[in-house]
Homo-oligomer: A and B are copies of this chain.
Amino acid sequence: MKLSELLALVGGRADGADPDAEITGVSSLHDALPGDLTFLANPKYAKQLASTKATAVLVREDCDLPPPAAGGALVRVASPDLAFAQAVPHFTKPAIVRKPGIHPTAVIDPTATVGKDVYIGPLCAIGPGAVVGDRCVLEAHVVVDDEAVLGEECHLYPMVSIRERCRLGKRVTIHNGTVVGADGFGYNTKVGPEGIKVEKIPQLGNVEIGDDVEIGANAAIDRARFGSTVIGPHTKIDNLVQIGHNVRTGPYCGIVSQVGIAGSTHLGAGVMLWGQVGLAGHLEIGDRVEVLAQAGVAGDLKGPGQYFGSPAVTKRELVRRLHLPRTVENLETRLAALQARIAALETKQENP
């Protein structure tokens, strides 16, 4: 699409810009490459204009910003977000939608129950007594084990495993390779006269996932020893996350990639755990606690509040921790000054 066509589409103007400039894609200010259209809605990102490589940037009509340093055009419109949303479908393909139907290579146990208007892709395996709710989409290579239950409109991507007796609410989306309901890590170790004996603790519970949960790729959510590991409704879990047995999360939590939560830790509502955070087991984490990336939490945290570092501390403590090298350097300087003053005092006292 030429810039001139874009201007017509979104009802904008771009004074002094080449109307024949080619727009070939859409992007964010930071990620944009030549050919991209992007937008600036929030003035706090205005400084990204200096570095963006975008060919055209949608901005507010009345703004007085300098054009992008790399030479892109400023396109003035009434609402940059709205104009961008209008343009996006011209540069992206529509999402792929599955029509209801069951692929002939899917293996569905005769005792399983499959709802209405369901899509089951090639080579899925649905076990005895399993239930697949209405309008679910199971892409290729999904395994739903014995007596597992999927609510309505769940969307499972290839290689997802739902283990025996686990239960998903409505509108649960799970990306490729994620495992719901593998055994928790639980053993009793006895050291006796005949040597060590490691005994597996049976993991007899399941996983219960609330409505509107989304889980990324290659994550693992272990089944409970007894009862259920629970993921609260509207909670979003990223790739490669580990959730131990008997963990319970509240609603509206966000759990970013590679986080690990050890067994029996309970999260309140709206808890946010950033990338690679680790939580020890048997903790109580209060509502709206936020734990920043790579932090390690070994004790209960009352919410709301932010925690940083390993072991995790408040921002005030973190600042102290990070300033320590400088604080110590200061101490050394002050100590040296005192040393000199004492030496002077000593000399004077010896030779008054």
Shortest distance between the CB of A35 and any CB in chain B (Å): 10
Given A28-B246, A242-B239, A322-B311, A179 and B183 contact (CB-CB distance below 8 Å): no
Question: Chain B contacts of A91 at CB under 8 A?
Answer: 226
Known A-B contacts A328-B328, A339-B334; the reply to A125 vs B125 at CB < 8 A is: no
Interface pair A216/B220, CB less than 8 Å apart: yes
Residues of B within 8 A of A311 (CB): 322
Query: Which of B95, B177, B257, B294 touches A296 (beta carbons < 8 Å)?
Result: B294
Q: Is A342 an interface residue (CB 8 A)?
A: yes
Q: Are A317 and B322 touching (Cβ within 8 A)?
A: no
- Smallest beta-carbon distance A297→chain B, Å: 10
Shortest CB-to-CB span from A248 to chain B, Å, is 8
On whether A335 and B342 interact (CB within 8 A), knowing A125-B123, A349-B348, the answer reads: no
Known: A125-B121, A252-B198, A262-B275. A183 touches B216 (CB 8 A): yes
Question: Of the 9-residue stretches A12-20, A71-79, A159-167, which lies at the interface with chain B?
Answer: A159-167
A114-132 CB contact bits vs B (8 Å, 1 = yes)?
Answer: 0000000111010100000
Q: Are the CB atoms of A92 and B239 closer together than 8 Å? A: no
Q: Does A278 contact B (CB under 8 A)?
A: yes
Chain B: minimal CB distance from A54 (Å)? 11
Contact between A244 and B257, CB atoms less than 8 A apart? yes
| B278–A225 CB distance below 8 A | no
Residue A102 CB within 8 A of the other chain = no
In contact, A177 and B161 (Cβ under 8 angstroms) = yes
Q: Give Cα distance in the complex from A175 to B222, angstroms.
A: 10
B218 in contact with A179 (CB, 8 Å): yes
Chain A facing B: main interface SS: loop
Q: How far is the CA of A146 from the CA of B30 in the complex (A)?
A: 29
A321 cross-chain contacts in B, Cβ below 8 A: 325
Contact present for B179 and A177 (CB under 8 Å):
yes
**Would you call A200 an interface residue if the criterion is a C-beta within 8 Å of the partner chain's C-beta atoms?**
yes
Chain B: minimal CB distance from A122 (Å) = 4
Query: Given the complex, which residues of B lie within 8 Å of A175, measured CB to CB?
Result: 179, 182-183
Q: A44 within 8 Å of B by Cβ?
A: no
Contact residues in B for A33 (Cβ distance below 8 Å): 227
Q: Which residues of B contact A96 (CB under 8 A)?
A: 145-147, 164
Besides A218-B219, A328-B331, 18 more A-B contacts (Cβ < 8 Å) are A31-B227, A96-B145, A96-B146, A158-B161, A177-B220, A179-B239, A185-B236, A187-B254, A218-B220, A220-B239, A220-B240, A239-B242, A240-B242, A244-B257, A258-B278, A324-B328, A331-B335, A338-B339
